[in-house]
Structure 1
Amino acid sequence: KKVAMTLAEKYARPRPLGNLHSHLYAVEAMNRSKREIWEMQNSIRRKDRWIVKIADAEIAERYERELKEQAAVHPLTATLAVQGMKLAAETFASLKRENVELKDCVMPSQVPGVWLADGLILAGLTELLSTELHKLADVPDEQKDWHPGSNGQVLDLIHPSLYCYVAGVTRFNV
């Protein structure tokens, strides 16, 4: 016995997460509360050694108290911001236990799937990159592409939106 296809089967439906980018991280809209939490968490991330400090209950309580005093937000928003940072620090500590090759300088950023690292790249490689970038910058003044609004202080050498790197997708020659 044949069963007729329903409209839902016949026509493509949107994916459950229809707002996925090619790098497979869902982009979600931020309401005011989420934006406030994100901004508070960024203020904590800017502190030196925030991952170690947020694990200390006394320091975490002080951060929460300061956020409640300084930010014109609902007190629960500050609590959620600090709890989120504690969870991020615990997750990172767990990752470090499982992956001993992670250096102490590597830490999660506020962008999903993006990690920060200071001092991870060897000095020789940094010097080589600097030498090669100077070659790109060494063009006549009329050919230089200054970043808009930078008053001639930021020279766009390679525009990231035109030449972005995507792991496993971007082809390159070494």
Structure 2
Amino acid sequence: MSLVKEDIKAKAEVYYGDEMGKEKSQELLREVGLPNGLLPLHDIIECGIVRETGFVWLKQKKSITHKFEKIGKLASYGTEVTAYVEQNKIKKLTGVKTKELLLWVTLSDLYLDDPPTGKITFQTPTGLYRTFPVSAFVVEEKGKAATSAAAAKDVNEEKKDDVNENKEVKGENGAVEVKEA
């Protein structure tokens, strides 16, 4: 049963499709000052935001399990993820669990302790919590990665050209001299 009713949808900005859902969820995370890797969802069907209350939802085709490599933690995202967002916080989160030892534990809240480079705390409905570095949930965006790679390639090409322009020539006494072309 969906938590998102038609009366809520009537007040919301609703977006459909995977590409638009990913774009809007990333945009929302940036707006509230949270790391962009918190919602690694796939095959998004619907994304909605009620700006007045901060209520958001994401629906995806099937549940997924994601491993946050930097901290070695597994998280499970259900077919419907809902929450209330505000600056540096997500409250009343549903549809997300994390694996602790042998158990899957439901997450209910998360917040930044020292934005933007500090710690992020994840809390369960029972009040138990874990804190991790924010950097564990930051993903380099594809456009920025491509731009960085292209810039690095350009710098390497310039260095290569500089080396090719300089010619080594042995002098009469056997010393190596570098002559610029």
TM-score higher than 0.5: no
Larger radius of gyration: 2
Q: TM-score range by the shorter chain?
A: under 0.3
Greater strand fraction, Structure 1 or Structure 2: 2
